[in-house]
Amino acid sequence: MMTEHKNIHNIASVQNRTDAVEAAFEKHGFKPAEFIEDFKHLAEEKWIPENGARVVAKAWVDPSFRKSLLTNGRQAILDMGLTMPAHHRHLVALENTSTQHNVICCTLCSCTAFSIIGLPPDWYKDLEYRARIVRESRTVLKEMGLDLPNDVEIRVWDTTTDTRYMVIPERPAHTSGWSEERLASIVSKDAMIGVARL
Amino acid sequence: MDGMHDMGGKQGFGRVRYSPEAKVFHEPWEVRANALYSLAVKLGIVNMDEYRYAIERMEPRHYLSASYYERSLTSVATLFVEKEIFTLHELEQMAQGAFPLSAPGVPGRKNLAMREEINLHDRVRVSSDFVAGHVRMPAYIRGKCGVVVGKSPAYPFPDAHAHGVEAENEPTFDVQFRSEDLWPHSTDSALVHVGVFHSYLEKVNVQF
Q: Which range of residues forms the domain containing residue A37?
A: 8-45
* CATH architecture, domain B123-203: Roll (2.30)
DSSP state of B121: T
**Least CA distance to A86: which residue of chain B?**
B42
Q: Is residue A103 part of a domain?
A: yes
Residue A13 annotated among the catalytic residues of the structure = no
Average pLDDT over every residue of B49-54 = 98
Q: Are residues A62 and A34 in the same domain?
A: no
CA dihedral B197, B198, B202, B208 (to 10 degrees): 100
**Least CA distance to B68: which residue of chain A?**
A125
pLDDT given for residue B82 in this prediction = 98
Point out the residue among B16, B29, B88 whose CB comes nearest to the CB of A18. B29
Q: What percent of chain B has pLDDT over 90?
A: 96
Give the DSSP per-residue string, A27-55. Answer: HTT--HHHHHHHHHHIIIIIS-HHHHHHH
Interatomic CA distance for residues A103 and A190, integer angstroms: 10
Interatomic CA distance for residues A148 and A145, integer angstroms: 9
Q: Is residue A3 part of a domain?
A: no
Average pLDDT over every residue of A81-87 = 95
pLDDT given for residue B208 in this prediction = 55
Instruction: Answer whether B155 touches A (CB < 8 Å).
Output: yes
Q: What percent of chain A has pLDDT over 70?
A: 95
Which of A4, A11, A18 is most worth mutating to test chain B (most B CB atoms within 10 A of its CB)? A18
> What is the number of domains present in chain A?
2
Q: Is residue A182 part of a domain?
A: yes
Q: Are residues A90 and A40 in the same domain?
A: no
Average pLDDT over every residue of A69-91 = 97
pLDDT at A166 over 50: yes
- Inter-chain residue contact B179 with A135, CB threshold 8 Å: yes
Q: Do A161 and B136 contact (CB within 8 A), yes or no?
A: yes
Q: Are residues A28 and A87 in the same domain?
A: no
Average pLDDT over every residue of B14-31 = 94
Q: Are residues A181 and A139 in the same domain?
A: yes
Q: Is residue A2 part of a domain?
A: no
Label residue A168 left, alpha or beta by phi (over 0 means left) and psi (-120 to 50 means alpha). beta
Please report, for chain B, the start and end positions of each structural domain, with discontinuous segments joined by +: 1-103, 123-203
Per-residue pLDDT band at B49 (split at 50, 70, 90): very high
Give the DSSP per-residue string, A59-83. Answer: HHH-HHHHHHHHH-HHHHHHHTT--
Average pLDDT over every residue of A131-155 = 98
Average pLDDT over every residue of B174-184 = 98
Q: Is residue A86 part of a domain?
A: yes
pLDDT given for residue B144 in this prediction = 98
A2-59 residue pLDDT tens: 445 555 569 999 999 999 999 999 999 999 999 999 999 999 999 999 999 999 999 9
Q: Is residue A198 part of a domain?
A: no
Q: Is residue A1 part of a domain?
A: no
Averaged confidence pLDDT in chain A: 95
A103-132 residue pLDDT tens: 999 999 999 999 999 999 999 999 999 999
Q: Are residues A121 and A171 in the same domain?
A: yes
State the CATH number of the domain containing residue A58.
3.90.330.10
Report helix, strand or coil for B125. Answer: strand
Task: Collect all residues of chain A within an 8 Å Cβ-Cβ radius of residue B15.
Answer: 128, 143
Q: Do A163 and B172 contact (CB within 8 A), yes or no?
A: yes
Task: Collect all residues of chain A within an 8 Å Cβ-Cβ radius of residue B99.
Answer: 11-12, 17, 20
Q: Are residues A187 and A113 in the same domain?
A: yes
From the CA of A6, how many Å to the nearest CA of chain B? 7
Interatomic CA distance for residues A195 and A188, integer angstroms: 10
pLDDT given for residue B205 in this prediction = 82
Task: Collect all residues of chain A within an 8 Å Cβ-Cβ radius of residue B25.
Answer: 43
From the CA of B208, how many Å to the nearest CA of chain A? 28
From the CA of A162, how many Å to the nearest CA of chain B? 8
Express the helix, strand and coil content of chain B in percent, nearest 5 each: 30, 15, 50
Average pLDDT over every residue of B87-98 = 97
Per-residue pLDDT band at B207 (split at 50, 70, 90): low
Q: Are residues A144 and A66 in the same domain?
A: yes
Q: Are residues A33 and A100 in the same domain?
A: no
B128-163 residue pLDDT tens: 999 999 999 999 999 999 999 999 999 999 999 999
Per-residue pLDDT band at B23 (split at 50, 70, 90): confident
Instruction: Answer whether B171 touches A (CB < 8 Å).
Output: no
pLDDT given for residue A7 in this prediction = 53
- Inter-chain residue contact A108 with B6, CB threshold 8 Å: yes
* CATH code matching the domain that covers B1-103, chosen among 1.10.630.10, 2.60.40.1730, 3.40.50.300, 1.10.472.20: 1.10.472.20
Q: Tell me which of B22 and B191 has the higher pLDDT.
A: B191
Interface TM-score (ipTM) > 0.90 = yes
Interatomic CA distance for residues A111 and A194, integer angstroms: 15
Q: Are residues A14 and A64 in the same domain?
A: no
pLDDT at A146 over 50: yes
pLDDT at A1 over 50: no
